[in-house]
Amino acid sequence: MRIAIMGTGSLGTIIGAHLSKGAHHVECIDVNTDHINALNSNGATVVGTVNLQASVKAITPHEMTGIYDLVLLLTKQVYNKSVLLQLQAHMNEASILLSLQNGVPEESLVESLGSSIIIGGSVEFGATWVKPGVSQLTSDKEAFSAHAFQIGELDGQITDRVNLVKTVLEDVGGTIVSNNLIGTKWSKLLVNVAMSGMSAALGCTYGDILNNEAAVTSAVMLADETLKVGYANNIQFSELAGVNVGIFSINEDKSNLPMVIQVAKQAFGPQALLKASMLQDLEKGLQTEVDYINGYISTKGNALQVSTPVNDLVTSMIKQAEETNQLPDFNENIKAFESLLNKEFAIH
């Protein structure tokens, strides 16, 4: 099988290293020429909770040739217009595009490429960019082995091709086929909204969030807002990494808030070392995907008349960091969350 990893950043480097050790023809594709050169010279190196080095073939998008059987789409949604134009010449009606992007991009992908070649997916492990050619796996090794991906057909059918893709991805880590892909994507979105959003807004790791009461409380409030917006949009959330994300729903009187916070600490503790990709983008001076994550919940919430004050705050903070090119300061920004929790929810 001829496989393209379109967008070989922190996640793609780990995927490329594992797949290249299997019986696949894999091309790691990225616009970062320093990264491409390092991958070709030294191989893909994985550090962190797993240590691995594998020889890989790495190219830029302009060096793509021929038709790919399977494309793993890992680029950021902000670049989809140009990325999809580049891919169209290298896919045919028998090709499969597996969307592993953050957010819920499937609707726009169908508009551009049609529904027949698209399978949706969700990455369930965390990674941090270290340097060209090197990525850190931040998820617990056992969690990675059990729950690396969820994938599924857009119509929920269990097909031969989705099982084929499952077989390929299991050379990386545990892969589950979902019959409720949209629910899966929304569940992953909930995690990104809650933890990646706070990580980027505060300039910290997941562990730093979990160790600060205002930060972890804000994170679960973000998750609760995502559930409320999703339910208003008739979304049926799927389990993610064995967790029923509905457990993050907070009672109107906030009586179950301490329990929800404890669940969050247990659920995200194995990813304590993770630093959100949005924060990594801010550190590199790049545009983030906040409009497709926290901003998406704010926009959907506004349309559905669901209040999303914590997502609104996170979105504004990340956009301010983009505009000013200044990294978020934890000690300064946490004050705004403390104030919001006290004002909006009477939480001290």
Q: For residues 53 and 17, give the distance between their C-alpha atoms in angstroms, rounded to a whole number.
A: 7
How confident is the model at residue 121, as a pLDDT? 92
Q: Domain with 127 in it: what CATH number? A: 3.40.50.720
Q: What are the start-end ranges of the H helices in 77-203?
A: 80-88, 106-113, 141-146, 160-169, 181-191, 197-202
Burial code of 92-101, b = ≥16 C-beta within 10 A, e = fewer?
Answer: eeebbbbbbb
Helix (H, G, I), strand (E, B) or coil at 275: strand
Q: Are residues 206 and 322 in the same domain?
A: yes
DSSP summary character for residue 212: S
Q: Are residues 24 and 168 in the same domain?
A: yes
- Cα angle 213-197-7, degrees, rounded to a multiple of 5: 145
Where a domain ends, among 179, 206, 228?
179
Q: Average of pLDDT values for 316-332?
A: 97
Q: Are residues 155 and 262 in the same domain?
A: no
Task: Report the candidate in 132, 147, 348 with the shortest Cα–Cα distance to residue 257.
Answer: 348
Measured CA to CA in angstroms, residue 10 lies from 19, 137, 294 at distances of 15, 8, 21
Where a domain ends, among 125, 148, 179?
179
Where a domain ends, among 120, 147, 179?
179
How confident is the model at residue 313, as a pLDDT? 98
Q: Are residues 135 and 260 in the same domain?
A: no
How confident is the model at residue 271, as a pLDDT? 86
Q: Are residues 146 and 219 in the same domain?
A: no
Structural domain boundaries enclosing 142: 2-179
Q: Are residues 224 and 157 in the same domain?
A: no
CB 109 within 8 A of CB 71: no
Q: Are residues 161 and 304 in the same domain?
A: no
Q: Are residues 212 and 174 in the same domain?
A: no
Q: Are residues 155 and 219 in the same domain?
A: no
Count of C-beta atoms within a 10 Å radius of residue 56: 23
Domain count, the chain: 2
Q: Are residues 188 and 333 in the same domain?
A: yes
pLDDT digits (tens, 9 = 90+) for 170-209: 999 999 998 998 898 899 899 999 999 999 999 999 999 9
pLDDT band at 345 (very low <50, low <70, confident <90, very high): confident
pLDDT band at 277 (very low <50, low <70, confident <90, very high): confident
Q: Are residues 174 and 248 in the same domain?
A: no
Q: Domain with 198 in it: what CATH number? A: 1.10.1040.10
Residue listed under structure tokens 């010279």: 41
How confident is the model at residue 135, as a pLDDT? 97
pLDDT band at 348 (very low <50, low <70, confident <90, very high): low
Q: Are residues 89 and 63 in the same domain?
A: yes
Of residues 284 and 57, more confidence is placed in 57
